[in-house]
Amino acid sequence: MQHSHPVESATVANLRDLGGIDLPGGARVRPGLAFRSGQLDRLDPAGDPLFAALGVRTVVDLRTAAERAAFPDRVPGGAHLLVADVLAGPEGSGAAGALAAALADPVAAGRALAGGRAAAALREDYRAFVASPAARRAYRQLLTVLAHRGGGPVLFHCTAGKDRTGWGASLLLLLLGADEATVRTEYLSVGPAVHEHYAPLLARFAAAGGDPAAADALFSVRGEYLDAALEALAEHWRDAEGYARAGLGLKDETLESLRERLVEAA
C-alpha cells in the first residue's frame, strides 16, 4: 500500500491510519499506532464508534494558539493532549494566518493573496516547517511521542490535516525508510478529502468575491509545497537522518525506538 488508510470517522475530518504503507524490503508501517487528521473540534467518541475503536492515547496538536482558541480540540477520554505549535513565535508565517483571513474576509484576503502570493506563502511556510526553531521543537516532540514504547496509538493533526500534518507524516515516513515516491504519494493522497471537507467554505469564499486561484492555493495539496520542504531539508541537513539528528536533536535510541515500534517486518 502506497498511502494511508482512511478511517471513515463521523466527526473527525481527514482521519487516516499511516499503518500499512509499504517500506523497502517488504516491510510496512505497523497499523494502529500512527494516525493523522484534521482538527478535533467536532469529535464525539460516543457517536463515532470507528474513532473510539482506535484507542487513541495521545493527541499531538500542531496548531497555533489562535487556532486552538477558536476551535479547541475535544480530546477522547483517557488521552493526553500535547501542544506542539509548529508556527509559534516570530518564525510563524503565512499559511495559518492567510487561511484565517480568507475565512473571515474573503474579499480582502483575495486581494492580498492574488497574483500567486497565496502559493508563495505556502511554500515559505513549508520551508519554515523544516528550518524554524519552533517547527523543529514541534516535530521533535511529535517524533519523540511516536517513538515512546508502550505509549499506545498517537494521533497528530493541524487544522485541515494537510500542511503541518502532511510534513509531519512525510518526515516520519522518510525516517522509517520510505522512498520519496511513497512519501509524495502519501502527501498528495489527502487532497480529495480536504477538498470535500472545505467545499462549502470554498463556495462561500467564491460567492463573497474571493479570488478562486488564491482559495485553490490555500486549500489544495500541491507537490510544489512538499518540494519546498524537501529542498530546505537537503540544503541544511542533506537528508532526513541528518535532519533528525542535527536539526531536531534526536538521539540514536529515539530513532531506533521509532523504527522498532512503527516498522513491521515482512
Cβ atoms of residues 107 and 209 within 8 Å: yes
Length, in residues, of the chain: 266
Strands 58-61 and 154-157 come out as: parallel
Q: Read off the pLDDT of each residue in 14-28 and give the average, rounded to a whole number.
A: 97
Dump strand ranges (E) for 44-149: 58-61, 80-83
pLDDT of residue 52: 96
pLDDT of residue 111: 66
pLDDT digit string, tens, across residues 53-85 = 999 999 999 999 988 998 999 999 999 999 999
Query: How does pLDDT run across 117-157, given as a tens digit for each residue?
Result: 888 889 999 999 999 999 999 999 999 999 999 899 999 99
Nearest in space to 63 (alpha carbons), one of 164, 166, 194: 164
Of 52, 53, 57, 12, residue with least CA distance to 36? 12
Q: Catalytic residue numbers?
A: 158
Helix (H, G, I), strand (E, B) or coil at 9: coil
| 192/197 Cα distance (integer angstroms) | 9
Q: pLDDT tens, 231-259?
A: 999 999 999 999 999 999 999 999 999 99
User: Residue 206 pLDDT more than 90?
Assistant: no
State the Cα torsion 233-234-239-244 to the nearest 10°. Answer: -30
Query: What are the extents of the domains in the chain?
Result: 5-264
Arithmetic mean of pLDDT over the chain: 90
For residue 215, the model assigns a pLDDT of 79
State percent of the chain over pLDDT 90.
Answer: 71
Architecture of the domain defined by 5-264:
Alpha-Beta Complex (3.90)
Indicate the SS3 state at residue 214: helix
Predicted TM-score (pTM) of this structure: 0.93
Residue 90's pLDDT is 61
Q: What angle do CA 228, 257, 63 make, to 5 degrees?
A: 45
pLDDT band at 174 (very low <50, low <70, confident <90, very high): very high
CA torsion 167-81-12-28 (nearest 10°) is 50
